[in-house]
Amino acid sequence: MELTKEIQKFLLNDALERFLRYVKIWTTSDESAESVPSTKVQLDLGKVLVEELKELNLDNIVLDEYGFVYAYLPPSKGFENVQSFGLLAHIDTSPAVSGKDVKPVIHRNYDGKNIKFAQDKDLILTFEDSPNLEEYIGLDIITSEGDTLLGADDKAGIAEIMAACNAWRKFDKLKHGPIYICFTPDEEIGLGIDKVDKNKIPEICYTVDGGEMGEMEFECFDAWLAQFKFKGLSVHPGHAKNKMINAIQIASRYFSELPESEAPESTEEREGYFHLAKMQGGAEEATARMIIRDFILKNNQRRMDYIKSLKQTYEIRYPGLKIEIDFKYQYQNMVKYIEKKPIVVDLVKQAMEKVGLEVKTHPIRGGTDGARLSVAGIPTPNIFTGGQLFHSRKEYIPTLALQKSAEVLLYLAHLWTQQK
């Protein structure tokens, strides 16, 4: 099978149109919530996707109470017995940066100069921010106006999957087996996938949630969440000597004890880190939220042991202070589960080569819904979307990536039809 220029143009136009529409729909998740979906606004995009899937004549379309959207694409005639697979992308955007009222901007025929933003004159996107940007000179690039993130993570993935579904519907030459679609809520806060209905997805899946073109990932962080509560004692500052236990001030000192060399801004590649994501409170009580990441479990255990030893030290140092720490295991490194079925990775590599991309495999310095699914026995590698600088007001994506990711999905489906 070879994709014609007609199909390639169709994919670009369709994915681009959908992407520009989806990013304007507010879907930020809320990390303080405990229910799924964490925000009702995620349902707004879910409802749009249901109607669009109906227009594409997919079957078994469902928007459930948790915000999951499910659909089924029946196989081409004669390919009913081909191995089925699922395609997943997440609906929510990161709460790290505002995702409300996103206004996408297309920078036509990018000339290699610094990219400026209409809503923040001091914000500039440069090669230093993203070396890959230099590779996209001459292409069209999409950013926000600089007051929000863009939302390519992961609305690009949704648009690419939808464009592929539209192409499968429109072009009879594109043969495929049974394909399941699942759009998930609350991936960014690690909650949504707990509520997935495993009866509605097959035994092999792919998340379309990666970064640069050609990227394919099947190893991710081992991930923990640590939540802290510092309990002190507030006393009038004029009479506080030897009485006040200033929780927020002590918490600041406590976290300053963490090694600066193990912060996200000081690490790369296979290096792990502590990341203090949030701290708030006052003299009486302070709370904090931290994520702990590494590719090796024992390294994270070392970090948690250090945190617990600091707790003991500080409670001795400040009599009356109480520190509560709650650790939560968020997801495991998925590599050992995916390696049991290497064909799921091998076919993605072949599909990327067919669309003319250099295959780039490296560990994800983060996680996807695929990590949880892989541990549950559903190997789920991650395919690129083409977006860069996720969770940032400098987030961007070349429009060509929308096309190329959709092309990979078409070839991937074709390659599965060739397996016996």
The DSSP-derived string for 340-391 is TSTHHHHHHHHHHHHTT---EE--BSS--HHHHHHHTT----EEE---BSTT
C-alpha closest to that of 405 among 176, 152, 200? 152
What residues are paired with 331 via a beta bridge?
A: 223
DSSP state of 23: T
Which positions are annotated as active-site residues? Answer: 92, 187
Q: Determine if the peptide bond prior to 37 is cis (ω within 30°).
A: yes
Contact 188, 92 (CB under 8 A): yes
Neighbours of 24 (CB within 10 A): 14
Distance from chain centroid for Cα 382: 10
Contact 73, 178 (CB under 8 A): yes
Contact 383, 216 (CB under 8 A): yes
- CA geometry: angle at 117 spanning 112 and 119, to 5°? 175
CA-CA distance, 229 to 159, in Å (whole number)?
Answer: 41
- Strand extents, DSSP E, 162-299: 179-184, 205-210, 215-217, 222-231, 273-281, 285-294
Question: Count of alpha carbons within 13 Å of 411, Cβ hemisphere only?
Answer: 23
CA-CA distance, 276 to 292, in Å (whole number)?
Answer: 9
Neighbours of 296 (CB within 10 A): 13
CA-CA distance, 18 to 396, in Å (whole number)?
Answer: 16
CA-CA distance, 46 to 183, in Å (whole number)?
Answer: 8
CA-CA distance, 344 to 416, in Å (whole number)?
Answer: 9
Helices (H), 239-368: 247-256, 297-317, 335-338, 343-354
